[in-house]
Structure 1
Amino acid sequence: MSSQDIAYQISIVEERVNRLMERRELRLEVASQASPRRDLLRKALASALKVPVENVYIRNVLSSYGSQVCTCTAHVYDDAARGKAIEPKHIQMRNLSREERKQASAPAGASS
């Protein structure tokens, strides 16, 4: 089974609306066989909430040894530009796939 075939069972434990930041702050429980990858979890959450993937940022993923359920924190913005302006750069980088991360961190003009 490849990492693309992993199914996540996502349940929202807590949802808060932060009108000042124009976002929803979610606490999730995610059940999966392995620890979820942020980029795949981000896509799964975006499709479950029916919002563009650019509006979703996974803040943290906490798992316990031997458990198949992990706790996550996510921010879902009303507007992608607002999320890009507010979320720290390291969180934005963590939410990219490995290929996108390599492209973003490569110096301008360098080819691989």
Structure 2
Amino acid sequence: MELRVISTRDNPLIGRREVAFEVEAPSTPSRREIREGVAEALGVDVEQVWVRRIVTKTGTHITIGEAHVYEDPEKALEFEPEHIIRRNRPPKEEGEAR
């Protein structure tokens, strides 16, 4: 998987960076893989990265998306919608209550 940051926009009021990225991979990568890739590319902790959107272009091996990188991971819980928070959490262990 090859991840390339296309653009970064600072949002100092909220304390985050809004990142657009492009990933070249044989199949659509998981959100976990993308979070790790963005964190590595920007030199931040994975807990600071929240993937907002990923879309694979039809007939290609290119996925585009956007992520928010917070200075304080706790701030994300204030600003990100609940469905984005759920999508970015690791899957629950088998047998665990929902």
Common topology (TM > 0.5): yes
* Structure 1 gap segments, 5+ residues each: 1-7, 107-112
Q: Which has the higher strand share?
A: 2
One-letter amino acid of the counterpart of residue 19, structure 2:
L
Q: Displacement, 1:43?
A: 1.5
Q: Does 1:17 align with 2:25?
A: no
- 3-state SS, counterpart of residue 11 of structure 1: strand
- Paired with 1:17 and 1:85, the residues of 2 have a C-alpha distance of 18
Q: Does 1:67 align with 2:67?
A: no
Equivalent residue, structure 1, for 2:25? 32
Q: Percent identity?
A: 33
Give the RMSD, CA atoms, in angstroms.
1.7
Equivalent residue, structure 1, for 2:69? 76
Q: Displacement, 1:14?
A: 1.1
- 3-state SS, counterpart of residue 21 of structure 1: coil
Q: Which has the higher helix share?
A: 1
Equivalent residue, structure 1, for 2:35? 42
- Paired with 1:44 and 1:28, the residues of 2 have a C-alpha distance of 10
Q: Does 1:87 align with 2:80?
A: yes
* Structure 2 gap segments, 5+ residues each: none
Q: May I ask how many residue pairs the two structures share in their alignment?
A: 97
- Paired with 1:47 and 1:11, the residues of 2 have a C-alpha distance of 11
TM-score norm. by structure 2 comes to: 0.89
One-letter amino acid of the counterpart of residue 53, structure 1:
V
One-letter amino acid of the counterpart of residue 90, structure 1:
H
Q: Does 1:56 align with 2:56?
A: no
